[in-house]
C-alpha cells in the first residue's frame, strides 16, 4: 500500500497528529483537513484514493459530508467516530460510507480496514463493465442470472439472486437494511427489515459451507449485511 494517497478529515488535532504519524510511517501519503468544507474541496481537487472521515466536524455534519462526496465519486470512505451509536452508524452507511470504526481504535485495525477498502475499490473498478461478478468463491453472472459457488451451480429464486447481486456490486461494504430493501423490494418496503433477514438466511443455506458460521455473507448486527471474500 506504499504511496497510497489518503485524506483525513478530522478537527481533533491530537487525532490528526497520531494518524499522520502512524500512516506515514506505514508508507501512506497523507493530507489532512480540519473541517467538512475544507475536506470537500480537497476531495474535489486532490482525488485521494481513500478518505478517513470523522463525523463530529465543526461546520458540516460528517454524514452530510459523506452524502456530498457520494454525489460525484465512489472513493472509499472509512468513518472514524467517537459516537458508536447504532443510529449514527446506519446514517453514515446509508449515505455511502464503506466502513465505520469507533474511537478509540488501533492503528493495526485501521490499516486492515484501509487494505480491504482499497482491494474492493480495485475490484469494483475492474468489474465496472463486466457482467460477471466474483467475490471469493462466488461467481455471479448478471446477464445469465446464474450463481456458482466453488464451481458448483446453485439455484436461487429471483429475489435471492437480486439480493446477492446487489451485495456483490459492493463487496466488503456494509449495506444497510434500508438500502437493500429499497434496491431489491422497492421504496415502499424500507421498514420491512425482516424480509432481508429471512432471505439472507435462505442465501446462507445455499452459498455457505456452514450456514451457522457464515464466512461469505456476514451480518452487521442492527445495521445490515456485507458480502466478503473469506480469504
DSSP result, 154-216? E---HHHHHHHHHHHTSTTPPEEHHHHIIIII-GGGTT-HHHHHHHHHHHHHHH-SSTTS-SS
Tens-level pLDDT at each residue, the chain (231 residues)? 568 899 999 999 998 999 999 999 999 999 999 999 999 989 888 889 999 999 989 999 999 999 889 878 888 999 988 776 778 888 899 898 988 888 888 899 899 888 888 876 666 555 544 678 899 999 999 888 899 999 999 999 999 999 999 899 888 888 899 889 988 998 888 889 899 999 999 999 999 999 999 999 999 888 899 999 887
pTM of the model: 0.68
* CA count, 13 A, side-chain hemisphere, 211: 9
**CATH number of 5-124: 3.40.190.10, 3.40.50.2300, 3.90.550.10, 1.20.1600.10?**
3.40.50.2300
**Which CATH architecture does the domain made up of 128-227 adopt?**
Orthogonal Bundle (1.10)
Amino acid at each position: 500500500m506504499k504511496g497510497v494517497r489518503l485524506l483525513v478529515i478530522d478537527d481533533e488535532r491530537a487525532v490528526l497528529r497520531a494518524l499522520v504519524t502512524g500512516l506515514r510511517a506505514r508508507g501512506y501519503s497523507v493530507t489532512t483537513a480540519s473541517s467538512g468544507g475544507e475536506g470537500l474541496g480537497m476531495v474535489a481537487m486532490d482525488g485521494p484514493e481513500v478518505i478517513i472521515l470523522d463525523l463530529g466536524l465543526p461546520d458540516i455534519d460528517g454524514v452530510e459530508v459523506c452524502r456530498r462526496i457520494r454525489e460525484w465519486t465512489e472513493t472509499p470512505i472509512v468513518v472514524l467516530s467517537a459516537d458508536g451509536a447504532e443510529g449514527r452508524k446506519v446514517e453514515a452507511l446509508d449515505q455511502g460510507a464503506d466502513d465505520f470504526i469507533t474511537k478509540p481504535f488501533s492503528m493495526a485495525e485501521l490499516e486492515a480496514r484501509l487494505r480491504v477498502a482499497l482491494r474492493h475499490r480495485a475490484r469494483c473498478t475492474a468489474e465496472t463493465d463486466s457482467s460477471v461478478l466474483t467475490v471469493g468463491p462466488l461467481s455471479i453472472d448478471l446477464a445469465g442470472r446464474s450463481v456458482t459457488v466453488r464451481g458448483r451451480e446453485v439455484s436461487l429464486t429471483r429475489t435471492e439472486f437480486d439480493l446477492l447481486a446487489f451485495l456483490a456490486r459492493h463487496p466488503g461494504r456494509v449495506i444497510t437494511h434500508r438500502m437493500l430493501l429499497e434496491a431489491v423490494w422497492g421504496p415502499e418496503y424500507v421498514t420491512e427489515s425482516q424480509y432481508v433477514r429471512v432471505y439472507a438466511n435462505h442465501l446462507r443455506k445455499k452459498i455457505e459451507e456452514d450456514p451457522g458460521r457464515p464466512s461469505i455473507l456476514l451480518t452487521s448486527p442492527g445495521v445490515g449485511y456485507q458480502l466478503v471474500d473469506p480469504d
